[in-house]
Amino acid sequence: MNISAPPDGRAGITADLVSRLIAAQFPQWKGLPVAPVPVDGHDNRTYRLGETMTVRLPTAAGYAPAVLKESDWLPRLGPHLPVAVPEVLATGAPGEDYPHPWSVRSWLEGETADPARVGDMTAFAVQVAEFVRALWRCDATGGPPAGEHSFWRGASPGHYDADTRRYLTELDGHLDTGLAAETWQAALDARWTGRPVWFHGDVAAGNLLVAGGELTAVIDFGTSGVGDPACDLVIAWTMFGGASREAFRAAVGGDPGLWARARGWALWKALLMLTLTLGSDPAAATEHRRIVTDVLSDHLAHA
C-alpha cells in the first residue's frame, strides 16, 4: 500500500465491470465467473476469472504505469527467481468507462504469509532473503529507474525527508524522537553509490504467498524498478524479529550503509502509519510503535 499515492478508486471497480471488459476485449474468456479475491489490496483490485486466472485493475492513475511495467518485465524476471511470480496472460486497454490499462494473470496458489501460516520463521526469513538476492542478480539493463512509478522506492529515502521530520514533530512525547531523528539522519548520510539493481519495492507479508509453511510465490511488482535495493529489507522489522531477523540479515549480507538506508525506509513508513493511527486505532498504533522501537534499537546495535 502506498499511502502517498492518489485517493482510493476501488468503489467504481466491480465484478460487472470486469465481465464487460473481458467480453469486449477478450471474448475467448467471456462468460467465465468473476468474483473478488478474499484479500484485496489498495493500489489494485483483483478478481478471480474462472478457476485459473485473475484480473487486476489499478484503482487510480498513479498506479496505472505498473500494468505495462509488469507485463513487460515479469516474463523476463520470472525465470531467474526461485519462486513463482504472476504470469501475465493478457494486457487490457481502457474501456467500458474504466480509464486505465489492466491485466489478466494466472492464478497463483497459496495464502498470504501470516506468521501463523509459516512453519519455521527463521527458515522462511532465509527463503525471503534468497528471493531478494536472486532479484538483485537479475540483469538490470533497460529496467525502469527508480522514480515516481515506484513511489521513489529504489531512490534515496531522503525523498521523504520533509514528511519524516513533520511526523517526528507531531509524535514528540510519544516516542524517542531524538533517537529517531538520529536514525533517520544516518539513513540520509549513508548514500548509495553501487550499481543499479532490480528491487521489488514492497517485500511485505501481504505480497508473499506460502503453502505448507514455505514461500511459494511473490506478487505485486507494481513498485519495482532499478536502483538502490535497500527498500527491500524493510521486512526485517515489519515481519521478522530475534533469530529470524538475524537470519535474514546474514542471508542478505550487504554493507552497513545498505542497512542504514533500510532502517530509514522502515522508519519513514512506521512513523507515517503511527501518525495516522495514533488515537484512532490503538491496536495498529501499537504495532507501528513496535516497528519504530525495533528500528531504533537496531540502529543502536549496528550503527
List, for residues 188-221, the tens digit of each pLDDT value: 999 999 999 999 999 999 999 999 999 999 999 9
The predicted pLDDT at position 11 comes to: 53
> What are residue 46's DSSP bridge partners?
56
CATH 1.10.10.1800 is held by the domain 112-302: no
The predicted pLDDT at position 10 comes to: 53
Measured distance CA(229)–CA(225) in Å, rounded: 9
CB contact at 8 A, 225 and 145: yes
> Phi first, then psi: what are they for 64, rounded to 5°?
-65, -35
Q: Which helix (H) or strand (E) holds 94?
A: none
How large is the greatest C-alpha to C-alpha distance in the chain, in angstroms?
A: 60
What pTM did the predictor assign?
A: 0.91
CB contact at 8 A, 271 and 292: yes
The predicted pLDDT at position 12 comes to: 81
Grid cell for residue 165: 521530520
Please provide the average confidence, as pLDDT, over all residues in the chain: 93
Give CATH for domain 10-107: 3.30.200.20
Q: At what angle do helices 177-189 and 282-302 cross, to 10 degrees?
A: 60
| pLDDT at residue 4 greater than cutoff 50 | no
Q: How confident is the model at residue 42 (pLDDT cuts 50, 70, 90)?
A: confident
pLDDT tens digits along 141-178: 999 999 999 999 999 999 999 999 999 999 999 999 99
Q: Which residues of the chain form CATH 3.30.200.20?
A: 10-107
Residue 71, amino acid: S
Measured distance CA(265)–CA(244) in Å, rounded: 20
Q: Which residues of the chain form CATH 3.90.1200.10?
A: 112-302
| pLDDT at residue 3 greater than cutoff 50 | no
